[in-house]
Amino acid sequence: MAGKALGTAGPVRGPGLVVDTLRAGGPCGIRHYLYGGAPGVAEKMRSKLLSVYPHAQIVGAETPLYRPISNAELAELAERIKSSKASIVWVGIGTPRQ
């Protein structure tokens, strides 16, 4: 909806949105938190993104366990994200978990 309001044509895909946001958000101090993927994927993504965009602020990267998350675990995750002061949380855990 925001893209249409700003005149974006065509679909906006997640990978392109991440890259565009990292590029544009660097000078603005946007802080990113990566959550999802198979074991090690979020950390690899963080490493790769920082190799291309060294000024990006990626303040957290973690892979959730592949099982339902308890309320206590969800509260701990929320606290980690909150304490990271992330501006954007990128979630990539797939359907139906997402």
Q: What is the pLDDT of residues 18-71, one digit of tens each?
A: 888 888 887 788 999 999 888 888 999 999 999 998 989 999 999 987 788 899
Residue 95 above 70 pLDDT?
no
Examine residue 28 and state whether it is found in any structural domain, yes or no. Answer: yes
Stated pTM of the model? 0.82
Examine residue 81 and state whether it is found in any structural domain, yes or no. Answer: yes
pLDDT score for 9: 75
Examine residue 25 and state whether it is found in any structural domain, yes or no. Answer: yes
Examine residue 74 and state whether it is found in any structural domain, yes or no. Answer: yes
Examine residue 4 and state whether it is found in any structural domain, yes or no. Answer: no
Q: Is the dihedral of CA 15, 47, 88, 81 positive or negative?
A: positive
Examine residue 86 and state whether it is found in any structural domain, yes or no. Answer: yes
Residue 87: count other Cβ atoms within 10 Å of its Cβ: 15
For residue 39, the Cα-to-chain-centroid distance in whole angstroms is: 15
Beta bridge partners of 92: 36
Domains identified in the chain, total number: 1
The domain of 18 spans 13-92
Examine residue 8 and state whether it is found in any structural domain, yes or no. Answer: no
Structure tokens at 5: 């309001």
Examine residue 32 and state whether it is found in any structural domain, yes or no. Answer: yes
